[in-house]
Structure 1
Amino acid sequence: MTALLWHLGVLAAAAVLAAMIIRRIPVPPSEPPDSPPAPGGPETSDRAFAAARWWEHRLASTRNDPQRFHTLVQPRLAEIAAERLRRRHGPAGPGRAAEILGPDLYELLTAPVTAVPTRAELARLLTRIEEI
């Protein structure tokens, strides 16, 4: 009985140690970091450049990896498109959204990604989101 209690104590200590170690693992930011405003400098342009670099890095890292594109880029593009739809067209169901977005953009935002779109294709689809 004593040996069993001793083993349970060791297991509990190991679980506590594992939880402490896991808490210390840094989590990468999911959004571009907000840069502090530069004294006397244009705050808006700095943030715009930081956001552009962040998107550039994110898109470059997914160039040949459909799963990574699906995880990192597709959800954010869908959020942007949904927000634009909501602001410009009010609440829209999936059928209405597909009609407004067009079949190719709707598929990119909702279907599982089998191939990462080319730069030209992505630029065309992003222009379509801007036009909504």
Structure 2
Amino acid sequence: MTEDEQPNPWARIVGPCYTVASMARTLRWSEADVVEAGEHMRLLMLRTEEGTVLFPSFQIHNGTVVAGLNEVLLILQTGTTSPWTWTQWLNVELPDADPPRNIEYLYNGRLEEAMRDARHVAWAWSS
């Protein structure tokens, strides 16, 4: 990176990511199962401009896909089809919020609250 280049802000928003292969190893799934789960919103799957497929690591908690992720992603997609926007909503820290990141609802078993807030933001995105 040169002095004039700025770091990509998405790297901070998204955080560390798995590739298809590393997600398959982590979950002990086949690579085909990982891609299929991403295509059916059982995993949050991102595609870069270069076509690289990535899976944000925040969706894995205690070695498994966080419970309730599929339900929340299905709601978020009603407001926008952009997985990058869903990622931002799930992972950006909001210092005065409880919890500070929306993904933490799912870490803490607060699925109904996550779904409520996802419905609200999906409605706002689609207006």
TM-score, L = length of structure 2 = 0.28
TM-score, L = length of structure 1 = 0.27
Task: Give 1 or 2: higher strand fraction.
Answer: 2
